[in-house]
A and B are shown apart, each in its own frame.
Chain A
Amino acid sequence: MRKTNKMIFISLLVSVGLALSVIESAIPLPIAMPGARLGLSNMVVLVTLVVFGFKDGIKVGMLKSTVLMLVTGSVSSFIYSISGAILSCILMHIAYRYFSRVFSLIGVSIIGAAAHNFAQVSVAVMMLSNARIYSYLPFLLLISLFSGYFVGLSSTYIVENLKKNFRVLFSRQETV
């Protein structure tokens, strides 16, 4: 795939992730817990990781949180979301690249969701300098199981379909 093609594809992925984030914020959750999200945009990061690799995955994750800050206008949530994006991307990459025999995409996505929550809560602890915020973590981890499972499941289908319909992505990936 040519460089321009790849750039366009990545920017498309970022915008899809943005749209998912905005839609997600309109969906009410039954649990009132700071930091609990569906994590739909994690799908995009996961797909990018699988298709393009680590470098572009973390690029998409960071771009997505940066542009989301410009859309929503809240700087504090940007700090939470970018730390979560970086940590979850690193851990998902490790899980996918080196432990793909052990974990399917669902497991990788659960790891990502859990890491995202952990990073967010840790940053909140540092920013508010109150270690008691860690008491949210068990609940958030339980929620991340569900969101991670569904994100992983849908990413599996996405990757399957991409493999079928965009063979060019996979066939010439090595030449880039």
Chain B
Amino acid sequence: MTKGDKILVLFIVLLSFLSFAYINRYAFSEQEKFISVQVNGEEIKKILFDQQLVGHTIPVETEFGYNLIEIGDGQVRVIEADCPDKIDVKQGYISRIGETIVCLPNKLVIEIKGESREDDIDIMNY
């Protein structure tokens, strides 16, 4: 192996790791995602992200307590809560699929879920 080979190998490794990081960060977060609001284990609201909904607030009032959810541009947070510790308010925005905001006293779970799109690959044949 010459010096050029080693540089080439290093370059390809770097390139693939960088692009892998890039893909993980951006490409997959662009898929259809929605906010799932669950109280006591049941999904009570399902909200698709929309440009028109930015800044919109949604009150969630149940027998367990009161929370106010604000929808941002591809992200969501809790801005008001009547629970004592207010951990859900302090957590701030969540934006990536799989992330959750949990408010235990009010039995509230806000989760971002991804929808698998129709044009996904089923089988690739080589």
Contact surface of A with B, Cβ cutoff 8 Å: 34-35, 37, 74, 76-77, 80, 99, 101-104, 106-107, 110-111, 114, 124, 128, 130, 132-135, 137-139, 141-142, 144-145, 149
Find out whether the CB atom of B4 lies under 8 angstroms from the CB atom of A102: yes
Find out whether the CB atom of A124 lies under 8 angstroms from the CB atom of B124: yes
Find out whether the CB atom of A145 lies under 8 angstroms from the CB atom of B1: no
List, in ascending order, chain B residues with CB within 8 A of A76's CB.
125
Min Cβ gap A174→B in Å is 26
Given A110-B9, A137-B19, is A34 in contact with B126 using a C-beta cutoff of 8 Å?
yes
Distance, CA A139 to CA B126, complexed state (A): 17
List, in ascending order, chain A residues with CB within 8 A of B17's CB.
138
The chain B residue sitting closest to A110, CB to CB, is B8
Is B44 engaged at the interface, CB distance under 8 Å to the other chain? no
List, in ascending order, chain A residues with CB within 8 A of B1's CB.
104, 106-107
Contact surface of B with A, Cβ cutoff 8 Å: 1-5, 8-9, 12-13, 15-17, 19-20, 23, 27-28, 119, 121, 124-126
List, in ascending order, chain B residues with CB within 8 A of A141's CB.
12, 15-16
Q: Which 5 pairs, one residue from A and one from B, show the smallest C-beta to C-beta distance?
A: A102-B4, A107-B5, A34-B124, A138-B16, A138-B20
Find out whether the CB atom of B121 lies under 8 angstroms from the CB atom of A133: yes
List, in ascending order, chain B residues with CB within 8 A of A106's CB.
1, 5
Of the candidates A35, A77, A101, A132, the one whose C-beta lies within 8 Å of that of B27 is A132
Given A103-B2, A106-B5, is A135 in contact with B27 using a C-beta cutoff of 8 Å?
yes
Distance, CA A127 to CA B1, complexed state (A): 37
Query: Looking at chain B's contact residues, is the secondary structure mostly helix, strand, loop, or mixed?
Result: helix
Given A80-B126, A128-B121, A135-B23, is A104 in contact with B12 using a C-beta cutoff of 8 Å?
no
Find out whether the CB atom of A138 lies under 8 angstroms from the CB atom of B8: no
Min Cβ gap A42→B in Å is 15
Distance, CA A114 to CA B4, complexed state (A): 16
Find out whether the CB atom of A107 lies under 8 angstroms from the CB atom of B4: yes
Of the candidates B119, B125, B126, the one whose C-beta lies within 8 Å of that of A130 is B119
**Supplied contacts A114-B12, A139-B16, 13 more A-B pairs, CB within 8 Å:** A103-B8, A107-B4, A110-B5, A134-B27, A135-B28, A137-B19, A138-B16, A138-B19, A138-B20, A139-B20, A142-B13, A144-B12, A145-B9
Q: Which of A101, A104, A144 has the most CB of B within 10 A?
A: A104
Find out whether the CB atom of A103 lies under 8 angstroms from the CB atom of B125: no
- 30 residue pairs of the A-B complex, CB under 8 angstroms, read A34-B124, A34-B126, A35-B124, A37-B126, A74-B126, A77-B126, A102-B2, A102-B4, A103-B5, A107-B1, A107-B2, A107-B8, A110-B8, A128-B119, A128-B121, A130-B121, A134-B27, A135-B23, A137-B19, A138-B15, A138-B17, A138-B19, A138-B20, A141-B12, A141-B15, A141-B16, A142-B12, A145-B12, A145-B13, A149-B9
